[in-house]
Structure formats: structure tokens, C-alpha cells
């Protein structure tokens, strides 16, 4: 498959190309959003900004806000990520799923690891929510907390599911679309190129997780989201298939929405969706052990000899600019492949 630009671009150039595609895709997403908003809700382009800023004051606010969020993520983020491999001469399967097909245990294991991690993550949520900036940054901390409070108010409004239809729309926009679009960008493109650039699986995963968390602009939720990014990143590296972190990401978001919807329907009267209080320490400890065990079992599958289909040949540029052809021959037992088939187990 021949692309419009060289498939041998340096990873840094690929990341710059991604930024350009994101800007272009966001413009396209804005146009699509304006057309659909006017078509379904009678809200024109000039009105969308005011409606989404304070949707509770407009009778069409909930629908327009959900539409805007879904289109911006799916077209803006997902579209940019899907365009990059085509421009550089790769198919989507070759770029995002070099190991295919994968056993269902990967998807089930990834979802299970996320579920059992919830009590442990509650401890990180409480700790990060109560963190404070240094004394000389108190003004910045106050501004950051005010911004996050406004974001939480918007989230509380959008997640008021007074009907089953609203819940299904929320599940699509808040769980399905982010799981697809964000994983394509942050794991499929950003992490992939960072791993190739630095020649280290761990550096690539940790940097991509930091970017993933920072891009949400929520300092008082940075740490738990960063840890989630690490889990998603290693799941992708170990499995070599973007569907695995997508399954984990969807499970994370969908589980929270299901709990919230059940609470709104009266199933959990004692459940407070806005609480940042951690679960008891012993539950956190058990959760940490179970999460570690689930991830370790999945990692063990990476060490097993695999006959899964891999790309025939992948190219990138070395730091000196020389083209490097990377073999995709499965490594001997005890060594692993990165998601593009490159043996980087020297870490």
C-alpha cells in the first residue's frame, strides 16, 4: 500500500504529522457538528458555543452537548489517528493490530483487570483530590480547582440519565467513543512512535500515559488517569492489538456509568457519585494484588511463542536519519515483541 508521504519518517515527524491531522480533523468535526446540530436540534453554528458552555439553560442543551462531544472525539481524534497510517502507506490492521487475531482471553482479561483495580484506584483518587500546590502557587491552585469544579458541574448535568434512552446515548458518547478515539491516538499513534523514537517500550508507555493524562487538563485527577494510561499502554504493548486497550478503556468508563445510572434509579441509595473518598485500605490491598495478578497472567501470554500474523516489514528512521528495516520474526522464548513486531526486550 503506497501512501502520500514516506513510510520511513522519523517518529518525531509522525507525531508532528498527527498534530497537523488533529487540527484539520477538528475543523472537519466542527463542520459536521454544526450541520448535525442544526439538523436535529435547530441550533446553528453561532449558537453552539453558548449552548455547550451552559447547556442547562437551553432546552436542547443536553442533546447538543452530547452530539458535540461525540463528534469532536470520533471525527477529530479518531479521524486523525485513522488518517495517519493511510498517509504513510499502512493499512489500519497493519498499523494498529500487527498481532491478529487475538484470543478472547486478552479482551476479557483486560476488562477484568480494570474492574478489580477500582478499589485501589479509589485510594489514588482521594490522594490526588486532596493534593496541594506549593505555597507560592496557591493562586494557581485556586484557579485549577475552580476550573475542575465547573467541569464537574457540566459532567453532573450530562450524566443525569432520566430515561433509558439518555443512558444509552451517554454510554455511546462517554464510554464507546472515547475508548475508540483516545486509544487510536494515544496508544495506536503516540505510544507507538514514542516507543520507536526512544527504542524503549517503557519510556514510550510512560510518556504516552503522561500525555494522555495531561491532555484532560485535570490536575486533581492526573495521577489515577496516569496509572490507567500505564495499564492501557502495557496492555497494548503486550497484546499487539489496539482492541485490547479499547476493551479496558470502555470497561473503565462504562462501569462508572452503570453504577451512576443504577444509583439514579434507586439501586444504591448510599452510593455518592461525586465522592472522592477511598475505600478501606484492606480492599485497596486486595485490589492491588488481584490487579497485579491479572496483568501478570496477561504478560505471561506475551512470553509464549506466537504464530500470530505480523507485518512483513516495518521501517522507521534511526536517530541519525538512516533507514532501519525491522525484522518481525518472533523472538525466542522469554523475549517479547513490541506492537510493531520489533524485539525491544533489552529493557
pLDDT exceeds 50 at position 313: no
- pLDDT tens-place string over residues 149-198: 888 888 999 999 999 999 999 999 999 999 999 999 999 999 999 999 99
**Rounded distance, CA 330 to CA 347, Å?**
17
**Rounded distance, CA 281 to CA 151, Å?**
29
Contacts within 8 Å (CB) and 24+ apart, 320-327: 321/10, 323/8
Specify the pLDDT at position 325: 43
Specify the pLDDT at position 1: 61
Specify the pLDDT at position 9: 87
Specify the pLDDT at position 269: 67
pLDDT exceeds 70 at position 337: no
pLDDT exceeds 50 at position 338: no
pLDDT exceeds 50 at position 309: no
The helix/strand/coil state of 66 is helix
DSSP states of 200-241 as a string? Answer: -HHHHHHHHHHHHHHTTT-GGGHHHHHHHHHHHHHHHHHH--
pLDDT exceeds 50 at position 320: no
Burial label for 2, CB within 10 Å (0-12, 13-18, 19+), is exposed
pLDDT exceeds 90 at position 343: no
**Rounded distance, CA 251 to CA 202, Å?**
24
Q: Give the predicted TM-score (pTM) of the model.
A: 0.86
Element (H, E) at 244: helix 243-264
Average pLDDT over residues 91-116: 93
Percent of the chain whose pLDDT exceeds 70: 86
**Rounded distance, CA 80 to CA 189, Å?**
10
Percent of the chain whose pLDDT exceeds 90: 65
Specify the pLDDT at position 323: 39
Number of neighbouring beta carbons within 10 Å of residue 335: 13
Specify the pLDDT at position 275: 80
Among 137-146, 222-231, 308-317, top mean pLDDT goes to: 222-231
DSSP states of 266-315 as a string? Answer: TS-TT--TT--PPPPHHHHHHHHHHHHHHHHHHHHHHHS----B--S-EE
Among 33-47, 68-82, 269-283, 327-341, top mean pLDDT goes to: 68-82
Average pLDDT over residues 200-227: 94
Amino acid at each position: 500500500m503506497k501512501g502520500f508521504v514516506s513510510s520511513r519518517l522519523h517518529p518525531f515527524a509522525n507525531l508532528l504529522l498527527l498534530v497537523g491531522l488533529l487540527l484539520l480533523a477538528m475543523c472537519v468535526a466542527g463542520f459536521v457538528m454544526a450541520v448535525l446540530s442544526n439538523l436535529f436540534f435547530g441550533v446553528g453554528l453561532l449558537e453552539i458555543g453558548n449552548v455547550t458552555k451552559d447547556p442547562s439553560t437551553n432546552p436542547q442543551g443536553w442533546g447538543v452537548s452530547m452530539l458535540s462531544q461525540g463528534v469532536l472525539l470520533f471525527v477529530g481524534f479518531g479521524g486523525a489517528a485513522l488518517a495517519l497510517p493511510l498517509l504513510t502507506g499502512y493499512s489500519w490492521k497493519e498499523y494498529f493490530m500487527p498481532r491478529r487475531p487475538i484470543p478472547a482471553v486478552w479482551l476479557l482479561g483486560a476488562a477484568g483487570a480494570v474492574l478489580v483495580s477500582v478499589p485501589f484506584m479509589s485510594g489514588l483518587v482521594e490522594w490526588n483530590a486532596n493534593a496541594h500546590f506549593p505555597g507560592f502557587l496557591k493562586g494557581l491552585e485556586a484557579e485549577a480547582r475552580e476550573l475542575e469544579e465547573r467541569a464537574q458541574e457540566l459532567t453532573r448535568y450530562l450524566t443525569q440519565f432520566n430515561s433509558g434512552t439518555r443512558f444509552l446515548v451517554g454510554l455511546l458518547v462517554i464510554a464507546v467513543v472515547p475508548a475508540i478515539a483516545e486509544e487510536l491516538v494515544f496508544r495506536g499513534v503516540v505510544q507507538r512512535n514514542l516507543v520507536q523514537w526512544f527504542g524503549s517500550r517503557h519510556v514510550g508507555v510512560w510518556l504516552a500515559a503522561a500525555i494522555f493524562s495531561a491532555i484532560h487538563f485535570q490536575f486533581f485527577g492526573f495521577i489515577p488517569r496516569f496509572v490507567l494510561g500505564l495499564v492501557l499502554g502495557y496492555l497494548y504493548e503486550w497484546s499487539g492489538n489496539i482492541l485490547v486497550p479499547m476493551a479496558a478503556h470502555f470497561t473503565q468508563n462504562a462501569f462508572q456509568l452503570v453504577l451512576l445510572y443504577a444509583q439514579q434509579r434507586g439501586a444504591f441509595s448510599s452510593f455518592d457519585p461525586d465522592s472522592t473518598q477511598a475505600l478501606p485500605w484492606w480492599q485497596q490491598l486486595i485490589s492491588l494484588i488481584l490487579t497485579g495478578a491479572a496483568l501478570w497472567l496477561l504478560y505471561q501470554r506475551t512470553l509464549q511463542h506466537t504464530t500470530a500474523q505480523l507485518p512483513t516489514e516495518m521501517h522507521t528512521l534511526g536517530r541519525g536519519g538512516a533507514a532501519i528495516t525491522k525484522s518481525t520474526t518472533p523472538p525466542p522464548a522469554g523475549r517479547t515483541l513490541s506492537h510493531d513486531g520489533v524485539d525491544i526486550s533489552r529493557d
